[in-house]
């Protein structure tokens, strides 16, 4: 069984999508549709912009989404998934690639998500930190004891858990986790506390847009971040997507559940093609991985 997995932010790179645009008529058409929907030429930034340009939230999220979704659509009949999943932002790519949402609605939601998250970041200062080589349960316990907003945000793979919260809370957690034996605890260069309660204003704003979007039954189960479980019921998919911004990304649990349910091969779609493959190898090295 094949699972196609879709990366989130931090998988962007300079020149992303330029070769697709120049060599494939379908890709060119979809990129031009995206320019019209967004109201600016995101292709100019994707193809010619600097890494700094690509780091702007309003650019990063739609750029990564477009790169993944258009790559999946270019594959045509060769895109034969038994399951899909996407890491954070990548969940929107997975939903479109599996037919749960159409391309236009997916892009509009991703654009609204980026804007809403940017606003939430500006309203309340927050940050994130990567904790390396410490059991998840120990990280959770220390975070819970801190008198600030500090929560587990991304269960990326065994031995790598990203925490999210207020700036003083994260700095306190980093010091305590180092003292408790974490191999590394590194504050990340991000603009806000993603997948934490501090994203509540963004969730409230995005909820209306998601609720007004039409969802269909996907062509295969989608393992969602909130539950790490396979879903095909459009109403359940919609409800889980609404909760995503303030809930943790249960990626380790998603990979384990996919393997338990018979997935034997993982194909990363879009971005630099390396991040999620690396996470799979940390979960279980036995399974082949590749990039589409």
pLDDT given at position 228? 97
- 133 neighbors 191 (Cβ within 8 angstroms): no
Distance CA 211, CA 132 (A): 37
- At residue 92's C-alpha, the angle toward residues 67 and 264, to 5°, is 85
pLDDT given at position 190? 83
pLDDT given at position 43? 97
pLDDT given at position 195? 96
pLDDT given at position 56? 83
Question: What are the mean pLDDT values of the chain's consecutive 10-residue runs (292 residues total)?
Answer: 94 94 97 97 96 88 97 93 97 98 98 93 92 96 96 96 96 96 91 93 94 97 98 97 96 97 97 92 93 92
Decide yes or no: CATH 3.40.366.10 for domain 2-122+197-291: yes
CATH, range 125-187 = 3.30.70.250
Sign of CA dihedral 86, 90, 92, 98: negative
**In the chain, where are the structural domains located?**
2-122+197-291, 125-187
- Residues with catalytic roles: 88, 195
- 59 neighbors 45 (Cβ within 8 angstroms): yes
Question: 14 by DSSP, 3-state: which?
Answer: coil
């Amino acid at each position: 069984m094949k699972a196609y997995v879709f990366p989130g932010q931090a998988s962007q790179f300079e020149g992303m999508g330029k070769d697709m645009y120049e060599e494939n008529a379908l890709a060119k058409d979809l990129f031009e549709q995206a320019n019209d929907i967004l109201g600016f030429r995101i292709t100019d930034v994707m193809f010619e912009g600097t890494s700094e340009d690509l780091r702007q939230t309003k650019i990063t999220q739609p750029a990564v989404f477009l790169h993944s979704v258009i790559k999946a659509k270019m594959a045509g009949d060769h895109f034969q998934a038994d399951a899909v999943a996407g890491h954070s932002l990548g969940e929107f790519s997975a939903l479109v690639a599996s037919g749960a949402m159409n391309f236009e609605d997916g892009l509009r939601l991703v654009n609204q998500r980026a804007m809403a998250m940017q606003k939430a970041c500006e309203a309340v200062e927050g940050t994130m930190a990567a904790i390396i080589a410490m059991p998840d349960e120990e990280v959770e316990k220390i975070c819970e004891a801190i008198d600030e907003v500090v929560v587990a945000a991304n269960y990326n793979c065994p031995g790598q858990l990203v925490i999210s919260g207020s700036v003083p809370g994260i700095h306190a957690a980093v010091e305590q986790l180092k003292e408790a034996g974490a191999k590394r605890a590194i504050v990340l260069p991000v603009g806000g506390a993603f997948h934490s309660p501090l994203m509540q204003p963004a969730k409230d704003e995005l909820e209306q847009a998601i609720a007004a979007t039409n969802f269909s039954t996907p062509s295969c189960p989608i393992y969602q971040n909130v539950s790490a479980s396979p879903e095909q019921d459009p109403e359940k998919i919609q409800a889980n997507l609404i909760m995503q911004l303030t809930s943790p990304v249960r990626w380790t649990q998603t990979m384990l559940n996919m393997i338990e349910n018979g997935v034997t091969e993982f194909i990363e779609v879009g971005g630099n093609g390396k991040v999620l493959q690396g996470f799979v190898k940390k979960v279980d090295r036995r399974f082949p991985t590749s990039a589409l």
